[in-house]
């Protein structure tokens, strides 16, 4: 009998001893960086993955979970998606690695796909292995194109783990080593829930734009290479920029001689609903965009796409041995084709609306849910001390665990670690949204 058919009820299965998980934890403790143990399922009970298929994940103890986080918004079209698996195996049997010294049709096909579906005049791609490298490439290209050095990013941004991308990342706990790129600096990030008390949304937008103008006039020499931001800050807690934010920021950036870099590592490929890319909701055309995570359903792919003139400025030799590897490219192409054929941006809009309505309804009786926000299949609950806006990371942690007890995997994040992040697969069905929301509602009641 297939294992799916005998998957035990997740709650009943809690009584198991977790001996296999504990044994794996001991082995991991001996040989992997200690900080990885701190981050295991956000700090509490470790979860050792047995296998995963579609929207479901099984731990090694046999418990089944509905996965509403997809390996941090990375498994976009379901675990072990048959079409992606077949394309991967086919490519591995054809040519597994060749390096960028040779032409590979599949790599060119992915670049053609990106040029066709990304907004504006973005046409030329460079492939790497991670979001960090995609963002590094974007900054390098902005600097070669403009001849300027300073880059402005946002507080609460996350951009990766290289020295420069730790400088781009504006969370103290994600920075280490102390040697960063001193030309990357942050301005205030837009977060309507945490705007100054009593300020209207319009006044808040003016306040943010004034802060950027003042920053450019005082903390740079008046020129910048780029402004770089996520349309919805992922690690920052799914904070959605106000509707006119990027339209107001862009002229200031251009005036300072800079280009617009938009990081779509979390928001890309239909995640926010209606469009391929998140930034299309804001109606601006970036000069450079970056992708990773969901582009290849879990394969290590980073992509930086730019306008022809920005691309032309990159003249020094640059190479990524594994970037554009035919196997990862086959995975990216199969994932993108799957998204296109099933119009998953439309599914993300429809199921995202269903999820949002259910979240608002289940949050209403609980004063500890301060904010429900997000777009498409990227939704969040911010937990606070009732009657205040004081962050409540302890309850957020308890809720993550309570959701797990209900057989539901969700994520946690935000500046204060008090935001629950919910991001089902792009091909999730209405039935599974209802199933997941039922589980989450019971978890909310459990921590009330």
Ligand X SMILES: Cc1ncc(COP(=O)(O)O)c(C=O)c1O
Q: Does 160 bind ligand X (CB under 6 A)?
A: yes
- Closest separation between CB of residue 302 and ligand X, Å? 6
163 and 180 in contact (C-beta within 8 Å)? yes
Q: Which of 21, 123, 266, 304 binds ligand X (CB under 6 A)?
A: 266
Stretch that binds ligand X, among 156-164, 183-191, 215-223, 391-399 (CB under 6 A): 156-164
Q: Does 263 bind ligand X (CB under 6 A)?
A: yes
- Closest separation between CB of residue 73 and ligand X, Å? 8
- Closest separation between CB of residue 75 and ligand X, Å? 14
Q: Which two tokens stand for residue 75?
A: 């498994």
DSSP, residue by residue, 284-299: ---SEEEE-GGGGTTS
Size of the site for ligand X (CB under 6 A): 14
Q: Which residue is closest to ligand X by CB?
A: 131
* CA Rg value for the chain: 22
Stretch that binds ligand X, among 26-34, 190-198, 258-266, 437-445 (CB under 6 A): 258-266
- Distance CA(159)–CA(179), nearest Å, equals 16
DSSP, residue by residue, 387-440: TS--B-HHHHHHHHHHHHHTTEE-EEESTTS-EEEE---TT--HHHHHHHHHHH
Q: Which of 75, 142, 292, 301 binds ligand X (CB under 6 A)?
A: 292
- Closest separation between CB of residue 291 and ligand X, Å? 9
Q: Does 265 bind ligand X (CB under 6 A)?
A: yes
How do strand 239-240 and strand 232-233 relate by DSSP bridges?
antiparallel
Length of the chain: 448
Map the footprint of ligand X across residues 94-153, applying CB under 6 A.
130-132, 135
Identify the three-state secondary structure at position 219: coil
Give buried/exposed letters for 21-44 (b at 16+ CB in 10 A, else e).
beeebeebeeeeeeeeeeeeebee
- Closest separation between CB of residue 76 and ligand X, Å? 14
Map the footprint of ligand X across residues 232-251, applying CB under 6 A.
234-235
Which is nearer to ligand X, 234 or 414 (by Cβ)?
A: 234
In the beta sheet, which residues pair with residue 125? 305
Q: Does 230 bind ligand X (CB under 6 A)?
A: yes
- Closest separation between CB of residue 129 and ligand X, Å? 8
Q: Which residues bind ligand X (CB under 6 A)?
A: 130-132, 135, 158-160, 230, 234-235, 263, 265-266, 292
């Amino acid at each position: 009998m297939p294992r799916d058919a005998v998957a035990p009820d997740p709650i009943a299965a809690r009584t198991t001893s977790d001996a296999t998980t504990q044994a794996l934890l001991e082995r991991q403790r001996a040989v992997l960086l200690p900080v990885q143990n701190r981050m295991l399922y956000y700090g509490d009970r470790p979860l050792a993955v047995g296998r995963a298929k579609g929207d479901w994940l099984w731990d090694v103890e046999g418990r089944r979970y509905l996965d509403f986080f997809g390996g941090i918004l990375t498994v976009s079209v379901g675990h072990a998606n048959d079409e992606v698996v077949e394309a991967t195996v086919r490519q591995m049997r054809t040519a597994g690695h060749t390096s960028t010294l040779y032409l590979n049709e599949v790599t060119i096909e992915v670049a053609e796909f990106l040029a066709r579906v990304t907004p504006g005049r973005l046409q030329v791609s460079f492939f790497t292995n991670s979001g960090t490298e995609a963002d590094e490439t974007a900054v390098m290209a902005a600097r070669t194109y403009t001849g300027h050095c300073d880059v402005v990013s946002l507080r609460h941004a996350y951009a990766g783990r290289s020295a420069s991308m730790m400088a781009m990342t504006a969370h103290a706990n994600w920075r280490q080593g102390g040697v960063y790129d001193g030309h990357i600096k942050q301005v205030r990030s837009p977060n309507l829930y945490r705007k100054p008390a009593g300020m209207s949304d319009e006044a808040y937008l003016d306040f943010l734009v004034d802060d950027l103008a003042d920053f450019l006039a005082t903390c740079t020499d008046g020129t910048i290479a780029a402004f770089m931001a996520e349309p919805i800050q992922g690690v920052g807690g799914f904070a959605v920029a106000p509707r006119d934010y990027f339209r107001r920021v862009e002229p200031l950036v251009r005036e300072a001689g800079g280009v617009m870099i938009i990081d779509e590592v979390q928001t890309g490929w239909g995640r926010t609903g209606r469009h391929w890319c998140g930034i299309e909701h804001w109606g601006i055309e970036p000069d450079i965009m970056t992708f990773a995570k969901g582009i290849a359903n879990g394969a290590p792919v980073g992509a930086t796409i730019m306008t022809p003139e920005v691309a032309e400025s990159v003249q020094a030799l640059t190479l990524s041995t594994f970037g554009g590897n035919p196997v990862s490219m086959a995975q990216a192409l199969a994932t993108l084709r799957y998204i296109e054929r099933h119009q998953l941006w439309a599914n993300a809009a429809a199921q995202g609306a269903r999820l949002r309505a259910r979240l608002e309804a289940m949050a209403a009786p609980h004063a500890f849910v301060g904010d429900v926000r997000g777009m498409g299949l990227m939704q969040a609950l911010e937990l606070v001390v009732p009657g205040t806006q004081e962050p409540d990371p302890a309850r957020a942690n308890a809720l993550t665990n309570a959701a797990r007890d209900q057989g539901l995997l969700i994520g946690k994040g935000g500046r204060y670690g008090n935001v629950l992040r919910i991001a089902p697969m792009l091909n999730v069905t209405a039935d599974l949204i209802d199933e997941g929301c039922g589980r989450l509602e019971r978890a909310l009641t459990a921590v009330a």
